[in-house]
Structures are given as C-alpha cells and as structure tokens.
Structure 1
C-alpha cells in the first residue's frame, strides 16, 4: 500500500461506520465491544499502557476540564498528550501534544501504520481507529502523560482501556438518551463505567440521582472518590469579559477560611486562580480540574501551585462562550442539550444583562432541540435558522416551524455565510449575535467570521 496523503487518511477513517453516531442505536455490547478494541490495541503493542493517563468523562464540561488539566500539567514541565472529540475546525485538533495539534503528515503516517491491524479486526469504527492513532501518536511523541477525554458514555467507550492515575467525571445531564439511557441514573452509570478498581475518581457537582449512582460504583470498585463542592470547595471571586477569578480550598481548611471570611486573619487566604474561559460553569470545571491535579500531587506528581496558576491562565478552549468581536458583539457557543443551553442563558444574563439576542441556531436532529430553544428563546430578538454540513443537521425549515410554534419570530437563512451576514445586519447597540446549537455551527461561524467579517 502506498503512503497516504492527509485527505486520503481522513477518507479512510470516515469510511468506517461509526456506531456511536448511528441514529436510534442502543449502547449495546454487540455494537460497542471493548474486546474488539482490546484486540486492536494489542496488535499495535498496547501503546495506551506505555505512559500515565488522566481519564475524563461527563456530559458537559469534560472537554474544558480535560483541557485545563492538560494545560496545568504542561505548565508543570510535563510533555502532555491531549485527546478530545469532536474537533472544531481541523481533524488533527483531536490529537495534541502540549496544546499543539499533530501535523497532517503525522496523522497520515499513523493511519497508514495502523491499516494492517485494522484489516485484521472486524467492525472497527472511526472513533476506535482514531483513538488508537491518538494512543500511538502519544507514544511516538514521548509524552510524560496523556489526558484522554471519553467520546461517548464511558463504560463501553473505546478510551476505557486506559489505566488512569485518576478518573474524572464532570457534570452529567440528559444527552444521547437513545444510546445511554432515559434516566439520569442510567446515564450516570454509563459515565461511572470509567471508574477503575482502587483508582481515585474526582466527581464534579452533580444532581443527587447521578451522584448516588457514582458513589455506588466507586464503592463497588473500592475507588477513593473526591467530591468537588465538598472535599474541594470554591467560589467565584470576580468575572469580566476578559476572564474570571475564583477561590478554591480543601475541606480541611474550612476553619481557616471561616476566619478569613470574617476578617479575623490578614496573613492567610485561600488559593486564587484566573481562567480566560467565561461562564460560572467554567469555574465548576476549573475546580474539578484543580481537584484532579490535587489527586496527582498526592500520588507524587510534582505540580507547584505556580504551575497550576500558569496552566489555568494559559488554557485554550475555543468555541465555548467565546466572544469573537465586541463591536457589535458576536458570541459563539457549542451548547447542544437543554442543560448546556440553560448554562448559556445564565451566562448571557450575567455578562450581557438586558441585551436581546439575534440567535443563529442549528442543531443535530437527534438532540433535544425544543429543550434548548425553550431555554434560549426568552432572550431572542429573532431566530435565524441555518445548518452546518453535518449529515445529521436538522433542516432549517423544521427549526422555523418549531420556533414559530413556541411563539417567536424566525426565518431560514442558508448557507451559514449568509446567516452570519444577515445576523450582523440586524444587531444594534442593545443586542448581540449568538451562534449556537452544536459545535459544528460554532466552528462554521468562527471560520466564516475569520474569513469575511473580522474587523
């Protein structure tokens, strides 16, 4: 076989049916088979076991949290691999070394390398092959540690063959219900499937139904678990459109914090960190990242407080409540379920009180579109229904029909370039343009803005 070009490598990867994206499919062992992935990785020499890992699952916030952990580890002097999905604009964003995507040439060479092994394993998916390529890329790059984000669920996810130093479970909410289960408890059980025997797990703030299941699984696995908001406590210190600061402390320090809060001590205060990411939910994610780093520190990792501060300040995670420009305001966000749409609306009310929104909206047809719209429409001046090039994107005409049924004005504008141009022509000093509904919409708007509207 001749060497692959980058485009040929992508065509090859996408030629495999990715069961994790198939509509109406149950999350079943017949389709999501870790034995198949295990056999595949064994043919490649089990690269995922050649370096330490941090494993991050959750419905929302897992990417942000993983990015912060990776940034902190890099700031501490470690060479860090970072695996996440989906990508925003370029496929290689999924596989990064020290916050830089691997090159197109490296990806093509690695895909070429795994093809003989792929030919020996039946029914491998796009995500499974990509995950193995990431594990190989980290080995070839000589990483000291890899931060690995779960693709879907956890228990049967292709990433769940790592043996992590610490597992992390971020906020759990309703998403992929046809795949993961209809109740929060069922979804939480799938996410908690990443918990390994005797391996510490950090748990972000959760609804009680999810927390009960995670506690049960952790106890079954004899896994020490650390609750953010309980074992690790925090609060927002300040926020602006340029970033936000937060205090964080351990439960054992609460008596000292009490004295500080009451002004009884002047020479002590809890740790304060700054992050460039906006929205109160990002402080939840930052506190979760801090807790994971604290676990690593107790396991012998050298991560000075100064490195934690620097890592938080230097994290990059575009497309999440990202302000692309300020005159007029243009914001993109990747909210794609009702809970994330609620967090987005709260962030809008916090950062832009009183402003109405010219809403550019597109989504995948398998999402809770009505739930998202019910959260966002009270802020909307009007809705511009559009679609990305993703094959699962809902038709804009169906979106308009739904928005009208909910009692708000809407119109179809496609393609996305025209949707953005129309939105920018309708915004004024009392409103802003917000593009959301999926990561694909956020990515397309970012790219269009850079190419045609950047001022």
Structure 2
C-alpha cells in the first residue's frame, strides 16, 4: 500500500470532524474488540492522558517538549492538524513518515470492517498505538479527541492524567451543563492515577474530586495543592511562578501559563524531571500554531483558535493585556457553536468585524454570522474568503483571526511556507 492509497482508504471511513451532525459510539466495547484483533497495541505504553475543553492540545505539546528536554523519546498524539494529517502522530517533534503511515494502514485495513464501523479518529488513534510501540518510545502523550469517557484514546492505561479548563462546548454530545461535561471528561480517571488539574469552577472541582475518590486516584489542583502564580503576559511571552521558581514561556497569554503549569506538575510528579535548566530553555522556544500566533509583524496579524465562550473571554483578556488596543476582527465559526455568546464577548475588543466561511462542511455561512451579530446590535461585513477579509482588515491593524482552529489553519497556511516533510 502506498501513502496515497492509505489516505484514499482513510477517506472512505466515517469522519466526525467533517459531519454536520456527527455521531459517536455509546461504548468502547467494539473498539476494544478491534484492537484485540491487532494484538492490543495500546497495552504497555507509558505516558500521559490529557482531557479538557480548552488547552489540552497546547498542554500535550508543552508536556512532550518538557519530556524531550530531559532526553526522553516521546510520542505525541494530537488533533486536529494544521498542515498535514501526519502531524497528529509525532515522535520527538517528527511526524510519522509516509512509509510508516502506509505500512500501519495496511496492517489495520483488513480488520476495519470486522467489528462494526470504525471512524477516522479511531484509525488514527490505533496507528499512534502501533507507531509508538514499534518505535519504542519512553513516554507517549495523548490528547483526548472529544470528551474522555468514550474517546478512543481512553483505552490506554497510564499512571498520569491532566485535566485542563472545563467549560461548555460540544453540548450536543457531552451534555448541556458544565457539570455534565465534566463527568464525561473525568472518564479518563482510572484507579490509582495521578491527576493534575487546572483551576476549575467550584462545581467542576467537586466532581473531579468525587470521581478521584471513587477511583482511589490522587488529584492536585494548580493554585491549591500546587503553588502557582502568573506574573504577566506580553507579546514576548508569559512569566509565572511554579513551586517558587520563576519561568518564562514563549507562548502568549495567562492561560498558556496554566497549560505549562499542569504540564510541569505532571512531569514532576511522574519523577521524570532531572534538569531544570533544560526545561527552562525548552519553554522559551515553544511554538504551537493557532494559539495567539503572530502571523505577521507589520501589519500585526494574529490567529487564535478560540471557539467557545470561555476561550473567547480568555482571548479578550489576552488582547487587553498584551495589545492594549482594539482589533480588526475576522471571525468564522463551525455550526453548533455559541456564536452569539462568543460575539457578545469579542465585540468589546473589536473596532470592526469581518465574517468569513471556514473551510469545513460544518461551517456557518458568513451571512448567518452577520444575522447573529445584528441580534446583538453588532455591525460587520460579510466576506466570501479569508483573503478578502484580510485585504480590508489589514488597513486597520492589529488584526485578529479567530472562531475556529480550522480557520486558523487557513490563516497559518497563507502566511507560512509548508513545513519540511516529516517536521512540524
């Protein structure tokens, strides 16, 4: 099987990321049975499992860089991708190669129809298991795709887990309240695990602590059991104190300090931190696409994947602290997002707004976004493409592109040369 044939086969499978009304399994039983046919490649992997509404991708990346700085061979599984589907499966920052991708797919293909329908996400998760085991990684870091309890990544059995900020998102699948969503995400908690959590609203914290007690696990909250304080955020990065030690991270925003904090705490409690200076150096050189990413300096153009109300609030706070001025806002959104809630937050930092489509079958039309804005008393312009919106917004910088990671991916591609094959 060639790489092109592997991709073509993958495209015949169900992809929840492209479905207007995505469907998800109501149990992991069939997926477990499928993995058994492949020899249970998920077993024996040592690593970390990360769930949450916001920040789990950044946290997974940060943790992998911390582990790499200590000399470990680290597998990283992320979603979605920006440039290439192979980004989702990495070892020490190097994407899975086309030959390995095709070879693993050839092994997986005969069993895909054997145990019910298998989704694209399940196949990619399985490929990560096979790849990490074959390459004998020291640790693997898995970002949950959606929720936690019924996510394909939840078949792994690791000692360490992280829960990032929990808020309303994917309510059509996970539940209508933050508490219901928290229960789904806490599904990654297994007996004896060490759980590190970002600060949560009290009702969510109570749920996490209750589920930890039931599973006879342990939990440590940043800012409570773990000393932590953010100092400042600027365009040069973010400063914070963790366990009485001051760190500077190149990622921009106080929320990124929280992501670094839980990654540091998890690595520390796993007993893998040996050289603090190498960690400090790694944190100063982090770069993760679509997270308050500066795409151009003059005029200043920034892309951020905020796509729910909570992340919009964090984005607003970052703009106010870091830029100190309002922005020309370019906004696009997928369906099933709280467009009114998000625009209700972002209007306070917008001097003008341009509505654009997102490159996805699940995209809202710019016209619909404008209709939602009008109901809030917000005016804005409809643009048929991101490029056209940029041609207008760039005349009145700074420019902020937000509303979806898929929209950020389009923006990153406009301003960045494609990466060297096999490298992020």
TM-score range relative to shorter protein = over 0.9
Is this contact kept in 2: 1:335–1:341, CA < 8 A?
A: yes
Residues 119-160 of structure 1: per-residue CA shift (max 9 Å, x gap): 322211111111001111112222111000000000111000
Residue aligning to 2:421: none
Q: 2:221 aligns with which of 200, 209, 227?
A: 227
Q: Distance in 1 between matches of 2:351 and 2:286?
A: 33
State TM-score, norm by structure 2.
Answer: 0.94
Q: Distance in 2 between matches of 1:26 and 1:273?
A: 42
Number of residue pairs the alignment of both structures matches: 418
Q: Secondary structure at the match of 1:148?
A: strand
Q: 2:310 aligns with which of 335, 339, 342?
A: 339
Q: Secondary structure at the match of 2:231?
A: strand
Q: Distance in 1 between matches of 2:218 and 2:413?
A: 43
Residue aligning to 2:189: 195
Is this contact kept in 1: 2:16–2:23, CA < 8 A?
A: no
Is this contact kept in 1: 2:6–2:105, CA < 8 A?
A: yes
Residue aligning to 1:421: 391
Instruction: Name whichever of 235-244 and 153-162 sits farther off.
Output: 235-244
Q: Cα distance, 1:405 vs. partner?
A: 2.5
Matches within 5 A, 1:214-363: 214-249=208-243, 270-297=244-271, 301=272, 303-353=274-324, 355-363=325-333
Residue aligning to 1:11: 8
Matches within 5 A, 1:380-391: 380-391=350-361
Q: Distance in 2 between matches of 1:76 and 1:183?
A: 40
Q: Cα distance, 1:113 vs. partner?
A: 2.0
Q: Distance in 2 between matches of 1:315 and 1:48?
A: 29
Residue aligning to 1:436: 402
Q: Distance in 1 between matches of 2:176 and 2:78?
A: 25
Residue aligning to 1:252: none
Residues 344-367 of structure 1: per-residue CA shift (max 9 Å, x gap): 0100000111x2211111110111
Residue aligning to 1:449: 415
Q: Secondary structure at the match of 2:176?
A: coil
Q: Cα distance, 1:419 vs. partner?
A: 2.2
What RMSD in Å do the two structures reach over aligned CA positions? 1.8
Q: Cα distance, 1:88 vs. partner?
A: 1.6
Q: Secondary structure at the match of 2:361?
A: coil
Q: Distance in 1 between matches of 2:270 and 2:196?
A: 11
Q: Cα distance, 1:26 vs. partner?
A: 7.4
Say if 2:123 is the partner of 1:129: yes
| Unpaired runs of at least 5, structure 1 | 250-269
Residue aligning to 1:90: 84
Matches within 5 A, 1:206-221: 206-221=200-215
Q: Distance in 1 between matches of 2:269 and 2:149?
A: 22
Q: Cα distance, 1:417 vs. partner?
A: 2.2
Is this contact kept in 1: 2:45–2:158, CA < 8 A?
A: no
Residues 280-311 of structure 1: per-residue CA shift (max 9 Å, x gap): 111111111111112111xxx35332233233
Q: Distance in 1 between matches of 2:349 and 2:255?
A: 19
Matches within 5 A, 1:132-143: 132-143=126-137
- Cα 1:19–1:243 change in 2 (3 A) is closer
Instruction: Name whichever of 336-345 and 109-118 sits farther off.
Output: 109-118
Is this contact kept in 2: 1:396–1:412, CA < 8 A?
A: yes
Q: Secondary structure at the match of 1:307?
A: helix
Q: Cα distance, 1:451 vs. partner?
A: 6.3
Q: Distance in 2 between matches of 1:352 and 1:315?
A: 20
Instruction: Name whichever of 14-23 and 230-239 sits farther off.
Output: 14-23
Is this contact kept in 1: 2:179–2:207, CA < 8 A?
A: yes
Instruction: Name whichever of 144-153 and 410-419 sits farther off.
Output: 410-419
Q: Cα distance, 1:422 vs. partner?
A: 2.5
Residue aligning to 1:395: 365
Q: Distance in 2 between matches of 1:393 and 1:36?
A: 31
Residue aligning to 2:381: 411
Q: Distance in 1 between matches of 2:70 and 2:261?
A: 18
Is this contact kept in 1: 2:300–2:398, CA < 8 A?
A: yes
State TM-score, norm by structure 1.
Answer: 0.88
Larger Rg: 1
Q: Secondary structure at the match of 1:151?
A: coil
